[in-house]
């Protein structure tokens, strides 16, 4: 079966449809309040990466919000895989996909009115990875800056749930983007230790060991976990704990992990060269190579091929 349309398909409350037909009332609570959650994986050559881990994490976010999506984890895995399959004809142009699962709590009832759709809105969708936009950073290394705003503390709203409330990070990032449009903001936590960027975890390397913030104040990244797994196989110790600005200034190497970046080296931190300035550094490079071998897709080449 060939699919000729160039419009991506999404899945919305049980049906597949072109994504531009997935329209939602402005009265949906996720639009009004960000009252929803999501998760996001990527494909490697069209194969979804650690889909089950992502879906499991998604249900932990939903549980924290006390939001019952009305669909089982396995069903959501299946739908996600179908989204990949149905959009496969479009993938060659996209390179590879981000696959998103999103649930909002649905519409508030207005007194005795009967809405067309009650209960949660559930969407599974895909978009092309931003390969071109980030190609420069894979060539040169990332520039990380810590803004003045602190990541929301766990007793206010848990940063461990991946929700539709992103303004803390959006606002913090604005002062960074104002002076470095390609820079990456990594917020400090309530105690002043490194926390996380928007959708990314941070690692530093010192004396042959990896250090990364513990899960207390950050999203439990699936690529972060992948990095733990690769490090174990390479016999590189990983230590989870508080990382402060002293650690960051003295890092020999630094890198970010995220669904889309996988692992990407950092060349500067708050304007100072990291280590000797090479990004990725040698241990980071070993992890990237192991990552590529594990997923069977040279994601670095994917990015660099899009350099304009």
Residues 114-143 that bind a second copy (CB under 8 A): 116, 121, 123, 125, 127-128, 130, 132-133
Per CB under 8 A, contacts with a second copy among 256-275 are 270-272
- φ and ψ at 130, to 5 degrees? -80, 60
Q: Nearest distance from residue 286's CB to a second copy, in Å?
A: 24
Residues 52-71 that bind a second copy (CB under 8 A): 60, 63-66
Q: Is 92 in the site for a second copy (CB under 8 A)?
A: no
CB nearer to a second copy: pick between 15 and 179: 179
Query: Would you count residue 276 as binding a second copy (CB under 8 A)?
Result: no
Residues 21 to 40: which contact a second copy by CB under 8 A? 22-28, 30-36, 38
Number of amino acids touching a second copy (CB under 8 A) = 82
Q: How far is the CB of 34 from a second copy (least distance, A)?
A: 2
φ, ψ for residue 296 (rounded to 5)?
65, 35
Looking at 14, 244, 277, 301, which residue binds a second copy (CB under 8 A)? Answer: 244
Contact string (CB under 8 A) for a second copy, positions 145-184, x = contact: xxxxxxxxxxxxxx-xx-xxxxxx-xx--xx-xxxx----
| 45 three-class SS | coil
Determine contact, residues 131/303, Cβ cutoff 8 Å: yes
Q: Three-state DSSP class for 64?
A: helix
Question: Which residue's structure tokens are 């990552």?
Answer: 291
Closer CB to a second copy, 74 or 174, in the complex? 174
CA 96/CA 297 separation, integer angstroms: 10
Near a second copy by CB under 8 A: residue from 239, 250, 282, 293: 250
216 binds a second copy (CB under 8 A): yes
Residue 35 CA to its chain's centroid (Å):
19
Residues in 189-208 at the binding interface with a second copy, rule: CB under 8 A = 190-193
Torsion of Cα atoms, 84 then 89 then 93 then 95, to 10°: 30
Of 286, 281, 251, 249, give the one whose Cα is nearest residue 265: 281
Helix 222-233 with 51-65: angle, nearest 10 deg: 140
The three-state secondary structure class of 87 is coil
Residue 150 beta carbon to a second copy: minimum distance, rounded to whole angstroms: 5
């Amino acid at each position: 079966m060939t699919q000729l349309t160039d419009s991506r398909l999404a899945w919305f409350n049980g049906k597949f449809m072109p994504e531009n037909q997935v329209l939602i009332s402005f009265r949906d609570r996720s639009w009004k309040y960000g009252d929803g959650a999501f998760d996001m994986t990527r494909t490697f050559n069209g194969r979804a990466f650690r889909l089950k881990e992502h879906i499991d994490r998604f249900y932990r976010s939903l549980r924290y919000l006390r939001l019952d999506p009305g669909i089982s984890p396995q069903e959501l895995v299946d739908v996600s895989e179908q989204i990949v399959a149905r959009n496969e004809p479009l993938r060659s142009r996209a390179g590879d996909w981000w696959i998103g699962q999103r649930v909002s709590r649905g519409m508030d009832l207005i007194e005795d009115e009967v809405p067309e759709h009650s209960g949660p809105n559930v969407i599974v969708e895909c978009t092309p990875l931003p390969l071109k936009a980030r190609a420069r950073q894979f060539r040169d290394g990332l520039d990380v800056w810590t803004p003045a705003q602190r990541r929301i503390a766990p007793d206010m709203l848990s940063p461990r749930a991946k929700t539709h409330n992103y303004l803390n990070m959006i606002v913090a990032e604005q002062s960074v983007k104002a002076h470095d449009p390609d820079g990456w903001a990594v917020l400090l936590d309530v105690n002043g230790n490194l926390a996380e960027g928007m959708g990314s975890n941070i690692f530093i390397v010192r004396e042959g060991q990896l250090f990364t913030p513990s899960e207390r104040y950050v999203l439990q990244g699936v690529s972060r976990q992948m990095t733990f797994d690769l490090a174990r196989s390479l016999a590189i110790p990983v230590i989870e704990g508080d990382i402060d600005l002293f650690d960051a200034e003295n890092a020999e190497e630094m890198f970010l992990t995220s669904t889309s970046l996988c692992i990407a080296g950092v060349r500067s931190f708050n304007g100072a060269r990291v280590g000797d300035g090479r990004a990725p550094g040698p241990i980071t490079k070993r992890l990237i190579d192991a990552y590529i071998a594990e997923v069977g897709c040279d994601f670095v080449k994917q990015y660099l091929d899009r350099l304009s």
